[in-house]
Chain A
Amino acid sequence: MADAALVRPRRPSGHRRREAWAHRLFVSPIVLAIVVLGVYPLLFILAAAFSDSSLGKPFREWVGTSNFETILADADVVASFWRTVAYAVAVSFVSVVAGVLVAVALERATHAGSVVRTVLLLPLITPPVVVGTLWKLVFNPGGGLLDTLLQGTGADAASVAPLSSTVWALPAIGLADVWQWTPLVALLVYAALLTQDPAVREAAALDGAHGLRLFGHITWPAIAATVAAVFFIRLVIALKVFDLPFIMTSGGPGQASTTTSYLIYQVALKEFDIGRASAITLVFAVVVTAVSLPVAAITRRLAHD
């Protein structure tokens, strides 16, 4: 903060230097975290991608770009990229729409107390492994919640088994994903709504603005930047999805719900091929960047408006 620096009284430079060193000491754990969890894995993966590497013996031999040639020619790998991106965009869109609805409703419902807010937050803090288990039980053919409800309506005699369907497995995982993460969207957008000046809304309401007009002219401009930022966060979380396919379908049936994170896990820790897994990771990093950069750019523009 510039004004803080101006207010500070003049000091001997030795003192100033000692302070600067203290600040450097303070941020050193952050640098360590970035090195251990960012720089080091990235260098490791770069080296592994260009070499013949197994889990036990990394970097056995330099093989140039052959790992990349293999994976880009592999239809399963390329399909997992498209599948993951489509999945991430779809679940992000659905949970942002649902989350904004819930946030606006929370703000408009004056009687909604802290109990309601806490209950609505529960999915967010439920361990993903439990979320996967929960929805696997709901989708359980023959006796699961969904099957029992559908049998009750008498619509179809055959039992429904979305998790063993090549068409429905991924949407079913997506539903669990939306259930888990919509509360995060609702929470952040709700917080943004609370920053609004209530007087502005009241004035608009007195002028006769209601419903959609009120939302479009008063509420939406106030939360647009937050919604864009939340969409970005949500998209990144969805692109990384691993736990839910792991628990609910093990990537199946066939490859129907194999997201790229799950594929990397399979190649690295089931086939022990670290070289190929690293190459997939690097290409996926490019895909993630390509998908999330435009969203990040929109977020930044809205935030500066």
Chain B
Amino acid sequence: MTERVRRRSSPLALAVLGVALSATVVPLLYLFSVSLMGRGETVSGVLWTTDPQWANWGDVLGSNIPRSILNSLLAALGGAAVTLVLALPGAWAVARYRTGGRTLGATLMSPWLLPPIVAVVPLLTLLRILHLNNSLVGLTLVYALANLPVAVWLLEGFVRRLPSELEEAARIDGASEFRTLAAVIAPLLAPSLVAIGIIVAILNYNEFLLATFLTQSADTQTFPVALSLFYGDRTPHFGKIAAAAFIGVIPVFASAVFFQRWLVGGLTQGAVR
């Protein structure tokens, strides 16, 4: 009975994947194609320009888009870092010691159920009182708190799967709760923390609604906000809009390709065990 049935890919499965792959890739390639088109070509019905215009890319790189991408990266990474630092102890206490009990567990994800538009006006008022409105620091703090429940929720599952023997050993050695957390738990959870950090950073980078209201001046605008303002002209230049959109996606796509092992692995691995 050691012989296993060798599985072969079914033709139907390959067909479904083929359709899914083209449905995913074609629109993205079209965006790239339009980004190289001159003004006339975008309305002439050509799918691929014979005379690529890198001028659109040059114009976008000379605009405030690079600055906005930098702003987005700062808020996304800063927010994710703070989220992780706060989420790890929280998730540990909730998963191992049921700190906060059923109430905390039940209310944890409740803010997520409401449209974020609900929080915009109250947050704007709060940040104005703290003199943090229209600043990247304010936006970063809002992102850090906004994703904390999601990060704790994801992390809880990983904490539960850790064997508790190592913590016990540390405790018997007389380590404090802080030491146990920093020296035992954090290293064990490092791969999960990376995966969750990437997810949270991408969520931050892509966030639009809060950023529109919390960063209004040109030097604090994030990328989604700057891109949305590209439609301001009465006759928008589609080539330039596409170039801006494409350039802004590069950091996220690059990190996804670079971190794909952690991103997919981190989410699916937990389930495999």
Which residues of A approach B to under 8 Å, CB–CB? 1, 3-4, 7-9, 19-20, 22-27, 29-34, 36-38, 40-42, 44-45, 48, 55, 58, 98, 101-102, 104-106, 108-112, 114, 116-123, 125-130, 133-135, 137-138, 140, 142-143, 145, 147-148, 151, 179, 183, 186-187, 190-192, 194-195, 202, 205-206, 236, 239-240, 242-243, 246-247, 260-261, 264-265, 268-269, 274, 277, 281, 284-285, 288-289, 292
B186 within 8 A of A: no
- Within the complex, what minimum Cβ distance (angstroms) separates B42 from chain A? 6
In the complex, the answer to whether A243 meets B208 with C-beta atoms within 8 Å is yes
Partner pick for B31 among A112, A128, A137, A242, CB 8 A cutoff: A137
From A122, A195, A269, residue with most partner B Cβ within 10 Å: A122
Query: Given the known A-B contacts A27-B93, A134-B245, A137-B31, are A190 and B268 also in contact in the complex, defined by CB atoms under 8 Å?
Result: yes
Taking CB atoms, residues of chain B closer than 8 Å to A40 are: 122, 126
Q: How far is it, in angstroms, between the C-alpha of A55 and the C-alpha of B252 when the chains are bound?
A: 35
- Within the complex, what minimum Cβ distance (angstroms) separates A161 from chain B? 12
In the complex, the answer to whether B152 meets A30 with C-beta atoms within 8 Å is yes
Contacts A30-B152, A44-B122, A281-B117 known; list 13 others, CB within 8 Å: A1-B160, A27-B99, A29-B145, A37-B145, A41-B111, A42-B118, A45-B118, A121-B256, A125-B252, A127-B205, A236-B113, A261-B115, A288-B115
Beta-carbon contacts under 8 Å, B175-200 to A: 176-178, 181
Taking CB atoms, residues of chain B closer than 8 Å to A147 are: 45
In the complex, the answer to whether B208 meets A264 with C-beta atoms within 8 Å is no
- Within the complex, what minimum Cβ distance (angstroms) separates B94 from chain A? 6
Partner pick for B241 among A8, A102, A106, A133, CB 8 A cutoff: A133
Q: How far is it, in angstroms, between the C-alpha of A141 and the C-alpha of B24 when the chains are bound?
A: 22
Among residues of B, the one whose C-beta sits closest to the C-beta of A202 is B5
Partner pick for A121 among B95, B148, B152, B264, CB 8 A cutoff: B264
- Within the complex, what minimum Cβ distance (angstroms) separates B31 from chain A? 5
Taking CB atoms, residues of chain A closer than 8 Å to B231 are: 247
In the complex, the answer to whether A105 meets B17 with C-beta atoms within 8 Å is yes
Partner pick for A127 among B7, B172, B249, B256, CB 8 A cutoff: B249
From A133, A140, A206, A289, residue with most partner B Cβ within 10 Å: A133
Taking CB atoms, residues of chain A closer than 8 Å to B81 are: none
Partner pick for A194 among B7, B8, B256, B271, CB 8 A cutoff: B271
Among residues of B, the one whose C-beta sits closest to the C-beta of A288 is B113
In the complex, the answer to whether A26 meets B93 with C-beta atoms within 8 Å is yes
In the complex, the answer to whether A127 meets B252 with C-beta atoms within 8 Å is yes
Give 19 pairs: A residue, B residue, CB < 8 Å, sorted on A: A4-B167, A20-B99, A23-B99, A26-B93, A41-B119, A109-B9, A109-B14, A110-B9, A120-B20, A126-B28, A126-B249, A129-B208, A148-B46, A192-B271, A206-B5, A236-B113, A240-B114, A284-B115, A289-B113
- Within the complex, what minimum Cβ distance (angstroms) separates A119 from chain B? 6
Query: Given the known A-B contacts A109-B10, A138-B30, A195-B272, are A30 and B117 also in contact in the complex, defined by CB atoms under 8 Å?
Result: no
Among residues of A, the one whose C-beta sits closest to the C-beta of B255 is A125
